[in-house]
Structure 1
Amino acid sequence: MSLSKKLKLRKAKERDYTLVDLERALKNAKGNDLKYYEILTKGIVPDVVDDVEHNVTGLFVKYPNANSLLGNELSPTETADEPDCMWSIKEEKEDESWFTISMTDPDAPSRESPKFREWQHWLVVNIPGMKIHEGEHLTEYFGPSPPKGTGLHRYVFLLFEQPGKIKFNEPFKGVSDMAERKSFKTSAFMKKYKLGKPIAGNYFVAKSAK
């Protein structure tokens, strides 16, 4: 589905957004007209997944005072709270569609030495339509906290369409479960639950403020 099509993203907290909004913001941020697929895969393949769907669409990630724009730099302070996420979905399929959204850091503890790749920041499964708050939170949101002196880290959001509602056999990870978050493998999780390639994605970068 082309970013140039005016496909309406469903309800946000404050206002409605469209994929055209995201396309415009991406062009302003990047200064070019590269296709979304090309920009996204350059930033996350093969460190997070081997590939995404070639007709991948925009995943709008909105924080209270900032947006993720395919590689723009945000601060840990700006991204401390769980974001709003929106994506394109056919209205007639909304009541019968289930999704998984994940956020990971493939650069833990640093991009030069990512021995903890990937650090899991957020994982919500069995999302009905676009109602993330009604999904099953397997990993509670924990904002970026890159160690001092480790440079920029990528924070990758991926959206998967599930074949239906799935029974996920995974332990819950709260904000205090730090050790359990390291060395998560998105690609292995995809294969385990037969999720297929990501249908939407986004990412930003951040570094320690210290």
Structure 2
Amino acid sequence: MDTSGIIPDIIDEKPKAKATISFPSGAQVDLGNELTPTQVKDQPTISWDAEAGALYTLLMVNPDAPSRADPKLREVLHWAVINIPGNKVADGQVLAEYVGAGPAEGSGLHRFVFLIFKQGDKIPSEKFISKTTREGRLNVKIRDYVSKYNFGAPVAGNFFQAQYDAYVPTLLAQVK
């Protein structure tokens, strides 16, 4: 993550471990490999070494919107789940439903970053962002979460890169 610019673009410390991320399409995330929006359209499964009894937060962002050269919307929140017991993401509380990669045509490669943080306590929240809305997703900052909840360095992370493909107009038609 050092050479990709993720440090310092969105976080200050490298994740302690690599999260394993697999999409229903069969695509695997591997530290910056290129995947297509078609391959990542459905919510992935994620695993990492979790402590028994601990709670975790999962955040997925795109720091390169509308493009890596002009990231004025940095960061776009693609997925947020809090209060995850161990690494059972399905048992956590969804703050923002998963939305796949949808880079604009001609905007080049975008990084899509998954970070997992260990929580000190349960996080109370009534917030919920549907996968059909942009509201609450633009100009989100991982550093704000880290500061607000005293997360420290991410315990795990991974990322892929994607650029426009024929699926993007279908994805964008679902988001208001």
- Please indicate, yes or no, whether the TM-score normalized by the shorter chain is above 0.5: yes
Q: Is the 8 A contact 1:41 1:51 kept in 2?
A: no
Q: Is the 8 A contact 2:129 2:135 kept in 1?
A: no
- Residue 91 (structure 2) pairs with residue 127 (structure 1): no
For residue 172 of structure 1, report the CA deviation from its aligned partner: 1.2
Q: Counterparts of 2:76 and 2:84 in 1: how far apart (Å)?
A: 22
Mind listing any 5+ residue stretches in structure 1 that lack a counterpart?
1-39
- Residue 162 (structure 2) pairs with residue 206 (structure 1): yes
C-alpha distance after superposition, 1:141-173 (max 9, x if no partner)? 0000001110000000001011122224x6311
Q: Which runs of 4+ in 1 moved over 4 A?
A: none
Of 5, 8, 17, the match for 1:57: 17
Q: Which runs of structure 2 are paired with 1:1-210 in the superposition (5 Å)?
A: 40-43=1-4, 44-53=6-15, 56-64=16-24, 65-89=26-50, 93-94=51-52, 96-168=53-125, 171-210=127-166
Q: Counterparts of 1:148 and 1:166 in 2: how far apart (Å)?
A: 38
C-alpha distance after superposition, 1:82-133 (max 9, x if no partner)? 00000013xxx42x11000110000000000000000000000000011111
Higher relative contact order (CA 8 A, sep 6+): 2
TM, length-normalised to structure 1:
0.75
CA RMSD after TM alignment: 1.3
Give the percent of matched residue pairs that are identical in Structure 1 and Structure 2: 41
Mind listing any 5+ residue stretches in structure 2 that lack a counterpart?
167-176
TM, length-normalised to structure 2:
0.89
Residue identity matched to 1:42: T
Give the helix-richer structure, 1 or 2.
Answer: 1
SS of equivalent residue, structure 2 residue 131? coil
Match of 1:19 in 2: none
Q: Counterparts of 2:55 and 2:17 in 1: how far apart (Å)?
A: 17
SS of equivalent residue, structure 1 residue 111? coil
